[in-house]
Amino acid sequence: MARFSTLYIIMTNVDIVRKAQSSFLQSGRPEIRTGMEIEVHQKIKEGNKERIQRFKGVVIKTAGKSELEKTMTVRRKVGAFGVEKIFAIHSPTIDKIDVLRQFKVRRKSIKFIRDLTGKAARLKEVSWDKVALNAERVLPVVEMPEAPKKEEKVETTNQEVKAEEEAEVPTEKTEESTPKEEVKTEEK
């Protein structure tokens, strides 16, 4: 009788996707939230030359479910026009992201700021330590459990199997039978 120890690995689809994406995540990225004024250093390739272009603005929206899908929409005013760019936070073309300031915002998306001008478009600044704002975000670590190794199949004879089965079945202890005294009752 062959015996195998079966161990089931429980891993959800989300865990599998996170494990696959973890090798593509960039290190050194801060926690990006709506209402931050940031400066994005983006690598631009022109022919065989490469340069870094900086884009400074306010994050008006963050989106994305998984860590690799996270994006941010950055808006800046250039003269009378507003310019918006959407960046993937973990894109390999982004060299670094510097957080300059944090504004008080109570929403995930502040797209309403597009329509505001002048004094109405101002946001209240929240005092934060720049080092704390630019602190590197800890990336989630997902470990795949190792598949169990199968035990080798051992062939046994019928006699060995019977001996194993007998050894596994607990034997009942029998008490020594003592002669029972019969109680005689007198009939009247």
Are 74 and 38 within 8 A, CB to CB? yes
| pTM exceeds 0.95 | no
Q: What is the pLDDT of residue 150?
A: 58
pLDDT of residue 178 exceeding 80? no
Longest alpha-carbon distance in the chain: 128
* 3-class DSSP state of 33: coil
Q: Which CATH architecture has domain 13-133?
A: Roll (2.30)
Tell me how crowded residue 83 is: count the other CB atoms within 10 A of its CB: 12
- Residues with Cβ within 8 Å of 82's Cβ and at least 6 positions away in sequence, in order, are 75, 76, 114
Per residue in 119-169, pLDDT tens? Answer: 888 888 888 777 777 787 776 666 666 655 555 555 556 666 666 666 665
Q: Kindly report, residue by residue over 74-123, the tens digit of the pLDDT.
A: 999 888 888 999 999 999 999 999 999 989 988 888 888 888 888 888 88
Q: Work out the average pLDDT over 35-42.
A: 93
- Domain spans, the chain: 13-133
